[in-house]
Amino acid sequence: MKMIDLRSDTVTKPTEAMIEAMRTAPLGDDVLGDDPTVIRLEALAAAMTGKEAALLTPSGTMANLIGVLVHCGRGEEVILGNRSHTFYYEAGGISAYGGVHPHTLPNQPDGTLRLDDIENAIHPDNVHFPRTRLISLENTHNKCGGAVLKPDYLVAVGHLAARYGLAVHIDGARIFNAAVALNLDVREL
């Protein structure tokens, strides 16, 4: 009997065609801008997501770490869910490497953070408080059962962030799954 292992999408293995594509990919020094495969992949990712640029990272954890550290300095604060991958499963990397203070809010069963909770968590400019810099969301939401965040919610969080001059980071480890579930172009998300 053929078994399908549904413990996680991470237990899948590359097909022969994928291994062949890796084996025959033209390579070069990425730092010197000489790796045509990385250049093509990053250009493709930027075009597919409607962003000005893309950066290949070896892991999703590293991508989240870079995302948070780009926006927050030491002693500054990111608002994120208590069930978010970045808070729960990334070994405290944002604190260990960046000195970034996580301000956790309860993730609702649908993966969202309540807008009121977010607004109440934003610190006023006061020397006692870590400065709030970033709101981090996850779509789809791993520890909320693969919940899909909808565009109207993302827009509402975006408006809230803009009102307070904050940045928004999306952990999009499975953003293409969210786009398929919503029948939307990933650019919309």
Ligand X SMILES: Cc1ncc(COP(=O)(O)O)c(C=O)c1O
Residues found near ligand X in the complex (CB under 6 A):
10, 59-61, 64, 85, 138, 142, 171, 173
Tokens of 126: 């006061």
Tokens of 6: 């549904």
Angle (CA) 51 54 58, round 5°: 145
If the CB atoms of residues 37 and 61 are measured against ligand X, the closer one turns out to be 61
If the CB atoms of residues 72 and 147 are measured against ligand X, the closer one turns out to be 147
Which residue has its beta carbon closest to ligand X?
A: 60
**By CB neighbour count within 10 A (0-12 exposed, 13-18 middle, 19+ buried), where does 171 fall?**
buried
If the CB atoms of residues 2 and 7 are measured against ligand X, the closer one turns out to be 7
3-state secondary structure of 157: helix
If the CB atoms of residues 89 and 129 are measured against ligand X, the closer one turns out to be 89
Q: How far is the CB of 102 from ligand X (least distance, A)?
A: 15
- 8 Å CB contact between 100 and 131: no
Q: How far is the CB of 128 from ligand X (least distance, A)?
A: 32
Q: How far is the CB of 89 from ligand X (least distance, A)?
A: 7
